[in-house]
Amino acid sequence: MFMFSIYTSLLIYFSGIYVFSSKRKHLLMVLLSLEYIVLSLFFLIIIFLMGFEYDYFFPVIFLVFSVCEGALGISILVSMIRSHGNDFFNSFSLSLC
């Protein structure tokens, strides 16, 4: 059961990497794939700590930083949609600022 959990987490991680590299035109898809990758890393950390019977203090800090990263990504998405009308990277130009 332990190896199945590791393989499942690695499958989630690599599918998140695939979506991140293939769907890079939309900011929302990039943010969702990054959250998917963070979730798989969280599962891998929990599995590692359960295997060695360590304390669960680090995953709480990891979750705090991932929530902060998600909130920052959503705020960038909202500001981009308000200023440009969509979440395409092609319509976002730094020369217009």
Predicted confidence band of residue 71 (pLDDT cuts 50, 70, 90): very high
pLDDT tens sequence across 7-37: 999 999 999 999 999 988 888 898 999 999 9
pLDDT tens sequence across 32-52: 999 999 999 999 999 999 888
Question: How many other β-carbons are positioned within 10 Å of the β-carbon of residue 16?
Answer: 20
CA quadruple 77, 80, 86, 92: dihedral, nearest 10: -120
User: What structural domains does the chain harbor?
Assistant: 2-88 (1.10.287.3510)
Distance (Å, whole) CA 55 – CA 23: 37
pLDDT score of 93: 63
